[in-house]
Amino acid sequence: MYEFILPDLGEGIHEGEVLKWFVRPGDTIGEDDPLVEVETDKAAVTIPSPRGGKVVSVQGKVGDTINVGDVIATIDDGSGAAAVAPPPREAKAHTRVETPASCPVAEAAGMKVRPKTAGPVPAAPATRRLAREMGIDLKHVPPSGPARRVTADDVKNFATGKSAGAAAAPRAEKTEKIDRQAEAEFAAHAASAIPLLDIEPLPDFSEFGPVDKEQLRSIRRKVARKMVTSMILIPHVAHMDEADVTELEEFRKREKQRREGRPGGHLTLLAFVVKAVTAGLRAAPRFNASLDPFKEEIIYKKYYNIGIAVDSGKGLVVPVIKETDRKSIIDIAANIEDLATRGREGKLEVADMRGGTFTITNVGVLGGTGMMPTINYPEVAILGMGGVQEKPVVRDGQIVIRKMLPLTLAFDHRIADGADAARFVGEMVRQLSDPNLLLLET
Question: Where do contacts with other proteins occur on this chain (CB under 8 A)?
Answer: 80-81, 86-91, 93-110, 112-118, 120, 122-125, 128-129, 132-133, 135, 145-150
Q: How far is the CB of 331 from other proteins (least distance, A)?
A: 29
Q: How far is the CB of 442 from other proteins (least distance, A)?
A: 33
Q: How far is the CB of 173 from other proteins (least distance, A)?
A: 19
| Of residues 124 and 439, the one with the C-beta less far from other proteins | 124
**Rounded to a whole number, what is the distance in angstroms from the first to the last CA of the chain?**
59
CA torsion 41-45-51-52 (nearest 10°) is 130
Helices (H), 135-168: 152-160
| Of residues 20 and 148, the one with the C-beta less far from other proteins | 148
Q: How far is the CB of 136 from other proteins (least distance, A)?
A: 11
Half-sphere exposure of 351 (CA within 13 A, CB side): 0
What span, in angstroms and rounded, lies between the C-alpha atoms of 196 and 235? 18
Task: Say how far residue 211 (Cα) sits from the centre of its chain.
Answer: 30
| Of residues 91 and 187, the one with the C-beta less far from other proteins | 91
Identify whether 413 is a catalytic site residue.
Answer: yes
| Of residues 121 and 310, the one with the C-beta less far from other proteins | 121
Q: CB neighbours of 34 closer than 8 A, spacing ≥ 6?
A: 22, 46, 47, 48, 49
What span, in angstroms and rounded, lies between the C-alpha atoms of 328 and 219? 31
- Write phi, then psi, for 12 (nearest 5 degrees): 65, 20
- Cis omega (within 30 of 0) on the bond before 48? no
| Of residues 75 and 150, the one with the C-beta less far from other proteins | 150
Contact criterion met (CB below 8 Å) for 424 and 407: no
Contact criterion met (CB below 8 Å) for 268 and 335: no
Hey, is 371 helix, strand or coil? coil
| Of residues 12 and 63, the one with the C-beta less far from other proteins | 12
Pairing of the two strands 289-292 and 297-300 = antiparallel
Q: How far is the CB of 146 from other proteins (least distance, A)?
A: 5
- Cis omega (within 30 of 0) on the bond before 378? yes
Beta-bridge partner residues of 66: 16
Q: How far is the CB of 144 from other proteins (least distance, A)?
A: 12
Hey, is 273 helix, strand or coil? helix
| Of residues 7 and 384, the one with the C-beta less far from other proteins | 7
- Classify burial at 302, counting beta carbons within 10 Å of its beta carbon; exposed 0-12, middle 13-18, buried 19 or more: exposed
User: Measured on CA atoms in the order 343, 38, 222, 122, is the torsion positive or negative?
Assistant: negative
Task: Catalytic residue, from 189, 236, 266, 413: name it.
Answer: 413
Q: How far is the CB of 222 from other proteins (least distance, A)?
A: 22
Pairing of the two strands 358-361 and 306-308 = parallel
Q: How far is the CB of 128 from other proteins (least distance, A)?
A: 6
User: Measured on CA atoms in the order 160, 185, 192, 290, is the torsion positive or negative?
Assistant: positive
What span, in angstroms and rounded, lies between the C-alpha atoms of 171 and 139? 11
The residues carrying an active-site annotation are 413
